[in-house]
Each structure stands twice: as structure tokens, then as C-alpha cells.
Amino acid sequence: MPKLTKDQIAAKIAALQAKLEDDDGGVYEDPDTKRWFIVMRPPGAEKTTTRRRAPDGSRLRTRDEALIARGQWEAQMQSGTVAVGRERFETFWPHYLRHAKAEMTRGSWDDLRAHGDKRLLPFFSGMQLSRIGVDTVREWRATMHECVEAGEWAPKTINNARIALLSCFRMAVADRLMAHNPVLDVKPLPIDFIERPYLQIGQINGYIDACAPRYRPLAAFLVGTGARVSEAIGLGLGDVDLQAGAVRIHKQRARDATLTTRPTKGRNFRTVAIGPGLVAVLRDMLALRTERGVDDAGWLFLCPPTARGRYSRRDEPRPPHRKTVHDWHEQALEDAGLTDMPLHALRHTAAAAWLGTGRSLEFVRAQLGHSSVKVTSDYYGHLEEHFRAAGVADTEARIQAAREARLVAMP
């Protein structure tokens, strides 16, 4: 049997729709194969879809069987146990992104789009949503796990992509394009515990002293507040209250080279307490800036002007880019003779220092802006246990010392 052209297929579909509108029961017989077919139209849809079997998989041999099967299909469609449609993943994903954009921050939406481009579309493109089942999602997870083993991505990244897929399919189910969300039956990848790098309390002063003068106030701020570098370089002078010893963190710099800011991660706006030592560092920085007549355009931290390179002619005051701060950080580690660690390790350093000096997980959560204390516990709970054990031992030692002093004082 010759293959039909696109025009012939369109004409055939138009004819089927005409048959449906003529109230022939929504079924027809193919004159060539003598097989019966069902024409169905999902609620609210303009296009029709064709079924050639009953819900139990049996063939349709007569018009009566086709009519009965059509009633069964419609009942299942109304109950939501079956989806009728030919929408493919690659055409539905932009539709989902458009609606998701109104429900999340720009940064979260950018991450969502990246998951689609890198981890979802390459696998699910070409697949009809109604035919994506649990086995398909399991195969996607297995493929992603192979990428994890190859060192391309971290398990947490794949789990975040799974959440994006879960949300996308949730909308598809609501739009009656899928009967069930298969991601619900596929577990996330297990995440092994990883000790996050940080500076020990005895190493912090050596690191700060090794920082170049242009970087030292910012480095002290990152260690003293636990702020993300994107949050620190997005701060303005109005965000800092040196008199009260507090910093209001509510935005972060975008990753590009512009000065665009956006709400901080998860919109977890917070006020961070800073100590008198850091307050003094910031006061000195601002006093020196005023003494030299430096225009800061309202930014808290500035990138010093360069004598050469493509930015040498730039007169506009601006904070340093995160890549620039990373280079400063790497140089400080090398000059201090410390082990190489990412710039984000300074955030972990702040958390470890607070816990090591007796602060609670709730205090750390509030300072870092975590959504819940469970998140803080997942990251740093092992440190609290270590410091708590040391605290118990110290308490027992003091009790014993008091006992010994009492026995010496007794006549």
C-alpha cells in the first residue's frame, strides 16, 4: 500500500472530521482494510485523534464494536484515566516555560530553561506525551546516571532536572494530555554525603591577610556574613546599616557582564547580623574611598580601575564580576599556602565558624537564608554533632575541675 502524502493525510483527517460532524457516531470503516476506527476529540481541543482498538486492546471488527469501544474510551477520558492527544514533548515544553515564568524568579526560570535545553529535550524530543510512561522516565534517569558517573553532572543537578520534568508533566496532566504523571513513580538519584571544603578557624586570618587590598574588605565580608558572592557584589550602600550592625540581602548580580540584579535565590530575603570587626573594616573602606574622592555610584564593593586591557577606558564605577573575585580568591589561597577550594567555600567557612563557636543551626539558617533548618542540617549537621561532642567533653571537664577544687578546699 503506497505511503500517503501530507496533503492526502490532511484530506483524510478533514473527511473524518466531516463524518464526525455528520453524527455518524464517530466511527468509520476503512474501505481498503475493512477495519473500523474511532474518531475522538478531546474536550476543548480542535484536532481529533484516531483509535483502532478497544481499551482492552481488541480489534474493532464491526460498527457496533467500534461504537461500544468509543463509549469506553470516552468514559476513561472523562475520568482522567486516559489521555487523548498527539502533543509532543518538544512542542509542549515551550508552552510550559511560558506559564512557569509567571510563577518563579528570573534566576529559577533560567535554571528551568537550562534543564530543558541540556537534560530533557535531548532525550524526550519526538515523544508523544500520552505515550511517555514510567519505563521511559526510568530510562531517562538511567541515562542521566551514566552522565553522573562520567563526571558530567552532579546527582543534585539531575534531581533538580527531575523536579522540572515533574512540574512539566503535572501541567500536561492538568491539560488532559497525559493520564498520569510518571515521574511520581521514579525516585530521585541517591546523593552521597560530601564533606564541603571550608577554612578552619585558625586559617581564616592567614587567608584574609594574604588577600590583596582591593579584595580584602570583600573577603572579610564573605567570611563574616556567609553571603554568596553574587549577593555581595550586588549590594548597595543603602543595604548596609553599620550603626545597627546589619546587612539587608535581597538581590544578587546576574551572571552576565551587565549590572543587572535580580531577587536572591529562592526570594529568601534576609537581614544578616555583622560583628564589630567587620563593621570596622567596612567603615575604613568607605572612609578611604571618601578621602580619595572615589565615586562609587552607590555600590558597596568596587572593582578598581585597570591601567590596561579592554576595560581600561571604562569610567563607570561598578562592582567586580564574580570571575574577577574568583581570580582574587585563587591568588589569596596560593599566597597563604592553603589548599585550593572554590570561592563558595567561604560561605561554608562562615557556617563552620558559627557552629564551632557554639551557635545553633537555627542561627546559621537565618544568617545564610536557607528555606528551612532541615536544609542547614543536611549541609552542616555533621559539624554541629562534632562541635556538640566537644562541648559535652568540655562541660564534663569543667564539672570535674570544680569537684577537684572543692575537695582541695575541704579541711
Helix (H) or strand (E) holding 387: helix 373-409
Estimate the crossing angle of helix 216-225 against helix 276-291, to 10 degrees. Answer: 150
Domains in the chain: boundaries: 6-79, 89-185, 201-344
Q: In this predicted model, which residue has the larger pLDDT, 373 or 47?
A: 373
User: What is the tens place of the pLDDT at every residue in 75-97?
Assistant: 776 665 555 567 899 999 999 99
Bridge partners of residue 36, in order along the sequence: 29
**CATH code linked to domain 89-185:** 1.10.150.130
Residue 215 has a pLDDT of 95
- For residue 204, which amino acid is it? I
What does residue 241 show for φ and ψ, rounded to 5 degrees? Answer: -115, 90
Residue 312 has a pLDDT of 59
Portion of the chain with pLDDT greater than 70, in percent: 85
Instruction: Count other Cβ atoms within 10 Å, centred on residue 122.
Output: 11
Q: In this predicted model, which residue has the larger pLDDT, 212 or 57?
A: 212
Architecture of domain 201-344: Orthogonal Bundle (1.10)
Judge whether residue 66 has pLDDT over 70: yes
Range name among 41-45, 168-172, 197-201 with the lowest pLDDT average: 41-45
pLDDT interval class at 40 (50, 70, 90): confident
Closest CA to 39 of 11, 20, 21, 62: 20
Closest CA to 264 of 220, 233, 224: 233
Judge whether residue 168 has pLDDT over 90: yes
Residue with cell 544578616: 272
Q: Residue 177 in contact with residue 186, Cβ under 8 Å?
A: no
What does residue 153 show for φ and ψ, rounded to 5 degrees? Answer: -140, 160
Please tell me the distance from the alpha carbon of residue 177 to that of residue 169, in angstroms, as a whole number: 9
Residue with cell 524530543: 125
Q: Do the two domains 89-185 and 201-344 of this chain adopt the same fold?
A: no
Portion of the chain with pLDDT greater than 90, in percent: 46
Model confidence, pTM:
0.61
